[in-house]
């Protein structure tokens, strides 16, 4: 997930909506939100 232009996640991932903000796991939260929740624990 780190680096790259996110072409494997296109069309969900775009310059205006990067892959960190996509709900890839189907949890209703973005990867950034999940990371923040883990940080708070």
What CA dihedral angle connects 26, 13, 38 and 28, to 10 degrees? -30
pLDDT at 29 over 90: yes
Q: How confident is the model at residue 4 (pLDDT cuts 50, 70, 90)?
A: low
pLDDT reported for residue 31:
86
Residue 21 CB coordination number (10 Å): 13
| Total domains present in the chain | 1
Q: How confident is the model at residue 7 (pLDDT cuts 50, 70, 90)?
A: low
Domain that holds residue 22: 10-40
Q: How confident is the model at residue 17 (pLDDT cuts 50, 70, 90)?
A: low
pLDDT at 23 over 80: yes
Residue 16 lies in a domain: yes
Residue 5 lies in a domain: no
pLDDT at 39 over 80: yes
Rg of the chain on CA atoms, in Å: 11
Q: How much is the pTM?
A: 0.61
Residue 30 lies in a domain: yes
Residue 2 lies in a domain: no
């Amino acid at each position: 997930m780190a680096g790259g232009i996110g072409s494997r996640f296109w069309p969900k991932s775009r310059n205006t909506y990067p892959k960190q903000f996509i709900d890839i796991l189907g949890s209703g939260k973005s990867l950034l939100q999940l990371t923040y929740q883990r940080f708070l624990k």
